[in-house]
Structure formats: structure tokens, C-alpha cells
Structure 1
Amino acid sequence: MAKLNILTAPDPRLAKKSDPVAAVDGEVRQLMDDMLETMYLAPGIGLAAPQVGVLKRVIVLDVAPEGEPPQPLRMANPELVWVSDDDASYNEGCLSVPDHYADVVRPAACRVRYLDHNNEEQELAADGLLATCVQHEIDHLDGVLFIDHLTSLKRNIILRKLLKAKKQGAGVPA
């Protein structure tokens, strides 16, 4: 396995739509495993392939509570097949938007269809944090960041701070 580099906003690759994978083969399985390692080391609870510069419809996540055994999920071509009418608000963060958090309203529950690590079609019903995480990661596959759900004022403030931090990190005066 290998730790991958996580892109941070406003990297333009994060705004691109990802392509479906034809099948979960050895290359996609390796990507999933590398993404999981990267996510755990970050640390985070979800990661989408575009966040590591790969424009494929692949996500990984693990919302197991701290202190409990890991429960990793690997999904290729995840697709929401149902969302609840009830909404829930969750204070979201993102490995591609480091150190910034905001309340985002999403459907409280969902059902997702996907190809698993063995290229078998699965369907998963999710609610609570898992539902939020699945929807957040699927957004990445469509070039959408959680900050895109905020008002333009809040989004622009966060993006300006990220751009300034990026410039300072590169040794360029802000």
C-alpha cells in the first residue's frame, strides 16, 4: 500500500466530474487500498479518488467509532438510489478543505448501490453519519465540495483562507 497526496481546494481537479470504472480489477482494488491507508493516516472518515488526483468514481469510508475495530467500506461507481425526505444537518469537514468545518443539510438517510472490492454489486442503506459521509464522498465524484453547499460569502471566505495558506506554504508572499 502507499500513502497518496491529498489535493486541497482550490485545486481545479477537485471540481471535475469523475469517470465510472469498467470493473473493480487489481488496479482499482490497489487504488481503494491506497486510499484507505491515506484516509486513516490523514486522519479522516472518507476519501474520494478525485481528492488524490484520480478522476475515477471510487470512494472509501469508515465511520466506526474511535476505539472500535475498523469497518472500511470500498465503493466503485456509487449511486444514490433513494434518499429520505427528512433532512439532517451535520458539521462537516473535508481532507481537501483542511481545518474548516460548516453545517451542511443533506437527506437524513439514503440507499447506495455500488461495486464492492470484489466487483460484486451491493446495496447499502445508510443513516446518520454514514449517510452524510456517503453523500459527501459521492459529491466529490461530481466535482462538488461541502463548501459548495454553503452561501457564496462563507465559501469565498474559506477559499481565500485556503489560497493564502497554500501560498504561504509554498514560500510565496500572501
Structure 2
Amino acid sequence: MASHLSPGNSINEGQKMYGGVTRLNQQARDWIVTAHHGENNNWGEYNTVEEVISAAQNRAKVASKTMPDCLGGGIGASSPVWMRDYSKPNDAEPSEPLAKQKIRAALAEAGSDVQRMVMGHTPQYKINSALDSMAWRIDVGASQGVMGGTPEVLEIIHMGGDNDEDIVSVLTVDGKRVDGSDRAVFDSSIMF
């Protein structure tokens, strides 16, 4: 997208740091095709559920540690693959000063009728929106290996409201439907 390929942004800086797109692709390809899981039980010969979980967690740890920087090795790392400008810090307005400008440009590039972007991979304590509800962060860290968060679902009913507006809600495990506007985070530095 044009907004992410302009001078001075994080993606261009990342390309310079990692040797350009060709080098990024080569590093990713090398990591994917090289065995990097160590001494795991890759054949699936397990006796208990605990052994399966332990092996999966071990594979994830080894894979993360051996992942090239260009793929964002490490929990919470930013890279050309794992862009977190709209999601960090969790449950708050993004700290990236140009986040609102970037997401507006990305949404415009995607189409004149695109109103929001839904994203994961940066856990929040609950589904929420930021940047004037243009960024919906849905990763609630529900797996025990991440945050053990409570599962939630983002529901978008396209043109379901008055004047054909979208209805955006969060569905909770206890059966509640929370209006999307109640999950908007705000910049805490702005005083009313």
C-alpha cells in the first residue's frame, strides 16, 4: 500500500535493515525449509494430552527463538511481517504517533467503502477499537499459553442498522451483546 511504502515509515526502514525485499524473502524461505524444531516428538507418538501440549509449546519456543528477525522473532516484536502500530499498547490508543494517518491511508487504499480494519496477534484484555473505531483489535489472548483471556467475538452486521449503517457488537461468553461504541479506547492524554 502506498502509505506504508512512503519514505520514513517503519516498513521502508525495515527493508533497509534486513537487506531489501529479496533478502527478507530469502531469510523467510531459509527458516521455513530448515528443520528448526530440535528434539521434539515430531511424529506424534504421545501418551497423554500433557505430552502433546508440552511438545507444542516446546516447538513454539524453539521456532520463535530461531526465527529470523525479519519475521519478527520473539513475543511482541515488530517487523515487516508483524506490524503492531495500531495495537500497542494493549487496551489503549496506539503509541505510534502516525497510526491514525497510516490506518486512514490503508483503508482508503483498500476501497472508498472500507470503514475499519480487524486485526489480531497483539493480545488485548478485551476486544476493543482504537483510532476512531477504524482499528478493531480482536486477539484476547484466550489460549493459556498467551494470557488465558476470556473468549469474545466481534460481530459486524453490514448495513443492518438505521440508514444502512453497520452494526458492530462484541459477543461475550456469558451471552451479552456489547455495543461496539462501549469498547472504544481513548487517548488518555486528552482532557475533556
TM-score range, shorter chain: under 0.3
- Per the normalisation by structure 2, the TM-score is 0.26
Higher strand share goes to which structure? 1
Instruction: Tell me which of the two structures has the higher relative contact order, counting C-alpha pairs closer than 8 angstroms and 6 or more residues apart.
Output: 1
